[in-house]
A and B are shown apart, each in its own frame.
Chain A
């Protein structure tokens, strides 16, 4: 099996055809452009669209969910629980998709194996099960507060869009476990900050019990992040020595 560091026929750089590059540069210079301005010219349309368009969507309304809705609303201090529900929905979707990411990584581990100080299968299985616990905890929390955990909140929608590329890398059979873990590192970095913000938000809304549960999840996510960082850096060292 080819290794990540094996050099091959990468044809993307200008050094691929040094005899042609001068012609490319001359041709582009002679052709010029057909309209004045620069890359910032695109901002005009982007700004115009941003000011005239509606947001991604609305936070879901609080359903009359087995009669708990009223109780949930009474539990929330302040008048605008929508921000909390939006972020809870985001975290729930993130943890749920995190389970699928870890499933993909375990499959990679089966194929590629690990390296010194790299992840074991047990490590990955352990983190997967914690992601699943976090998802379940968030689902119950949303239900207890009178929300609908199956709804897609605007923050969840945006987060899914941001993550698309990472899913693609991990699902790609051509990417190694090491490359996939770099994607996971991006996920865990975002996850850690998001949990920290969720703890603060829950306390702001007077949801101290939920905040305590989120704090426990944050501790576990810090452990994930620390491990993933170590795996990624040990992988680079391993490749460099090879």
Chain B
């Protein structure tokens, strides 16, 4: 049954509380839980991180909103903690990285498939093939550095092979800017998709920046440096989809709606009952946030939130394998590049000189992504299984 976001009020903001013990729940099991539980937890951490980031920036620029922002943000902080602390500590940072890239691949695919705007569909597919390649590079590193098989985490849902080579993803900044949707005509799902992917990529960038220096291995350090740089490019690309004419209040409404949409999507599909209960609680809290913000929106903007928000939450996107879609996209679009927001086929048109020069320079002392995955073809049980069987 669709969620009517105007009639469902959720938990009032002043009733949303946690204890420290609640904020450190039992993690999901690296061995026993479905890979998509990991994917959901990682994405929702990103969604909350984006909520907090946005609410901080909004507060800097809007003094009258600061108290409500601080109250809401305090809850978002604790929601993020409760969600992110579900990640099991027996996952090494590199194993968690594999999870991050699976999020990027499967969620970007899902959003691309449900996006109504053809240009934005292309934006998603473009980023998808780059994150797909990152998974391949990190898999090679996991194999060669820790002797582990990434598929124990991917659970065979996601292919492991090269995408658009990471070494060719480095672009001059202007070539990461895309065209934005028109805020007055875009469908609500377009806006929810955009904020979802921005949240996902932003946290991926931050995670790689955080864990990269923790590696002692020099190839690992360089690979994280390289891929973190691409993730920053991806945030630029996806952020560019947003209409800058949408004001702070409208963006705040959309952010709360995005959080609710994503928790609702998680709730519908979660296989772990204990974690499903967490998604349900979060849905209720986000409804409370949304209604608090709707009230302020009416008071300050003198507009009806129904002009911005859908009456009912859109259908959840699928937490499932998008293998066929990824393979089709890879076959059709691996040769795409960008020039000034346009997508071009490298076989027929060159990239801009600024991008070529930037890439040449960055790769001039070697390409970590090519080195880490030199000759790498994934095999069950790691490449050592293949070598000893041969």
Give the number of residues in B that approach A within 8 Å (Cβ atoms): 28
- Whether A157 contacts B31 by the Cβ 8 Å rule is yes
Q: Is the interface of B mostly helix, strand, loop or mixed?
A: loop
Contact yes or no, A52 B26, CB < 8 A: yes
Q: Which of A42-73 contact B (CB under 8 A)?
A: 52-54, 56-58
Known interface pairs A56-B90, A99-B147, A135-B388; A150-B216 also in contact (CB < 8 Å): no
Tell which of B171-179, B192-200, B360-368, B377-385 binds the partner. B377-385
Question: Does A84 lie at the interface of the complex (its beta carbon under 8 Å from any beta carbon of B)?
Answer: no
Bound Cα distance A53, B382 (Å): 31
Q: Decide if B226 is an interface residue (CB 8 Å cutoff).
A: no
Q: Across the two chains, which residue of chain A brings its CB closest to B389?
A: A136
- Whether B30 is near chain A, meaning CB under 8 Å from some CB there, is yes
State whether A152 touches B31 (Cβ < 8 A).
yes
> Interface code A214-238, partner B: CB below 8 Å = 1, 0 otherwise?
0000000000000000000000000
Given the interface pairs A52-B26, A157-B90, the reply to whether A150 lies near B146 with Cβ below 8 Å is no
A93 at the interface (CB under 8 A from B): yes
> Looking at the complex, which of A11-19, A32-40, A166-174, A188-196 is the stretch in contact with chain B?
A166-174
B149 in the interface (beta carbon within 8 A):
yes
A54 to B72, CA, bound (A): 33
Bound state CA distance, A164 and B92, in angstroms? Answer: 8
B220 shortest CB reach to chain A, Å: 7
Residues of B within 8 A of A53 (CB): 26
Interface residue total, chain A, C-beta cutoff 8 A: 36
Residue B144 interfacial (CB < 8 Å): yes
Residue in A closest to B382 when the chains form the complex, CB atoms: A96
Q: How far does the Cβ of B150 sit from chain A's closest Cβ, in whole Å?
A: 11
Pair A96/B30 contact, Cβ less than 8 Å: no
CA A158 – CA B216 in complex, angstroms? 21
Residues in A neighbouring B384, C-beta threshold 8 A:
96, 99, 132, 135
Chain A residues with CB under 8 Å of B152's CB are: 150-152
Given A97-B146, A132-B388: A149 and B381 interface contact (C-beta under 8 Å): yes
Tell me the A residues contacting B by CB distance below 8 Å.
52-54, 56-58, 93, 96-100, 132-133, 135-136, 139, 149-154, 157-158, 160-161, 164, 167-169, 171-175
